[in-house]
């Protein structure tokens, strides 16, 4: 079962990586809108995405969430290899994005990531009921608000020049852990507030 979950998570990571590729290529509001392709594909194929699963997990499924996160990152890694062969200078764009995250600081990015997690659980809840409009608005919303998404960020970090990544390895790891934690909290915010 864990292997099937991992395979599904890899494909989900590929979907988000492709969406991130498009965002790096186009940027701006239009790039944020096109990023919705990633989540549309994930939900339609019923793939395992960390931020699409974290708000719905049950007790004892923590290991499964870790497997999903690892699979998503693996999928992003595979798409990041396309950045190396692209004639566009996407690695430089990714580096600027990562540099901006580092300048903002890990704890601020972690807090901002809560917003993304909340949006993700909300739009996935609607999409599972066949209501797609919230997804088409929610994905661009978290991007234009600057709310980090841990899987999209995994792609951006892996797409950045390796030298830059290695020179900032510890700050990037701290940043990434804070974003994962922030997304997780945001994904489960409704459970805390609406606790029965």
Q: What is the C-alpha separation between 7 and 91, in angstroms, rounded? A: 27
Q: What does each of the 196 residues of the chain score in pLDDT, given as a tens digit?
A: 678 999 999 999 999 999 999 999 999 999 999 999 999 999 999 999 999 999 999 888 889 999 999 999 999 999 999 999 999 999 999 999 999 999 999 999 999 999 999 999 999 999 999 999 999 999 999 999 999 999 999 999 999 999 999 999 999 999 999 999 999 999 999 998 987 6
Whole-model pTM?
0.96
DSSP letters of the chain? -HHHHHHHHHHHHHHHHHHHHHHHHH-HHHHHHHTHHHHHHHHHHT---HHHHTTT--TT-HHHHHHHHHHHHHHHHHHHHHHHH-SS-HHHHHHHHHHHHHHH-HHHHHHHHHHHHHHHHHHHHHHTTT--HHHHHHHHHHHHTT---HHHHHHHHHHS-HHHHHHTHHHHHHHHHHHHHHHHHHHTHHHHHT--
180, 112 Cβ separation under 8 angstroms: no
Closest CA to 99 of 167, 36, 45: 167
């Amino acid at each position: 079962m864990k292997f099937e979950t991992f395979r599904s998570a890899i494909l989900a990571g590929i979907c988000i990586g492709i969406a991130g590729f498009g965002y790096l290529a186009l940027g701006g509001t239009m790039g944020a809108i096109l990023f919705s392709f990633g989540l549309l594909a994930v939900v339609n194929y019923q793939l395992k995405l960390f931020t699409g699963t974290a708000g719905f997990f049950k007790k004892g499924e923590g290991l499964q969430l870790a497997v999903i996160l690892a699979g998503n990152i693996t999928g992003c890694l595979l798409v990041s290899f396309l950045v190396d062969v692209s004639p566009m200078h996407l690695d430089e764009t990714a580096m600027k994005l990562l540099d901006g995250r580092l300048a903002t600081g890990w704890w601020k990015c972690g807090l901002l990531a809560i917003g993304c997690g909340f949006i993700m659980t909300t739009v996935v809840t609607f999409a599972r009921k066949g209501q797609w409009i919230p997804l088409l608005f929610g994905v661009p919303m978290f991007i234009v608000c600057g709310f980090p998404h841990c899987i999209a960020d995994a792609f951006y970090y892996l797409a950045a020049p390796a030298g830059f990544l290695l020179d900032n390895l510890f700050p990037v790891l701290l940043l990434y852990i804070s974003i994962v934690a922030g997304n997780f909290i945001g994904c489960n915010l409704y459970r805390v507030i609406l606790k029965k």
